[in-house]
Structure 1
Amino acid sequence: MSDAGQVDIGSEVPPDDPNLVKIQVEADLLKENLEEQRIKNSQQRSANKFRKSEYKHIKKNRRKYSRHILSVTIYWLLFCAVCIVGTAFKNDSFNLSDGVIIAMIGSALGTVVGMLVVILNWLYPKSKD
């Protein structure tokens, strides 16, 4: 109270009972924790919306480009098979050395194994958490 008998509005008088003070402090802490939790939940919801839209975009592009990669791989394997079969006939017009054939078979094997790794990483992605 001030000298003129007026009550200061800005200052609170603590209750006389210490249990009431303890309960009021706990209530204030709970209110602060609740507000922090609301902010975290709001941020998490917006992050989840972003991840969901990003996932849809990535999924669409994966389907599109995976078909292109698969077709290029099939054409490469067919080309390798034709070259190997053509070399097997010992034709003078088409002859590849042993090193070229080994490199071609190695690259075809690498392509197939690489496709397997890419597909498995797509089916079972590593979690970021």
Structure 2
Amino acid sequence: MTTIYAGTSAEQLPELANITIDEMKRAASDMSPAEVARARAQMKAGLLMGLESPSNRAERLARLIQIWDRVPPLEETVAQIDAVTTGDVRDFAERMATQAPAALALYGPVDGAPTLDELHSRRAA
């Protein structure tokens, strides 16, 4: 499951929804190796800095045990991050932008928000 969280004013909500879908689709065709390298570096930095907090470490361990029924060594996790290629990211972005099931949760003044059907149509375009 992939979650995208964004906040904006009610007036800009339709534009935000469209830009989000457009960027997902763009990533499927235009993701650069430099962008993937930056994302890898950010993920590793976040992982390593998160180890400084006891509560983050506890949450990470619990999440790993829940998902994998084991705690992979940190080196294994870093190696998996390093193994992700630009092609992998493009393939994932393509699936997320066009094929993956979608849901929409909104709160606040959302009268002008696009419907899920409208978003599906934009994904298919």
TM-score range, shorter chain: under 0.3
- Higher helix residue share: 1
User: Which structure exhibits the higher relative contact order, with contacts defined as CA atoms closer than 8 Å and separated by 6 or more residues?
Assistant: 2
The structure with the largest alpha-carbon Rg is: 1
TM-score between both structures, scaled by the size of structure 1: 0.27
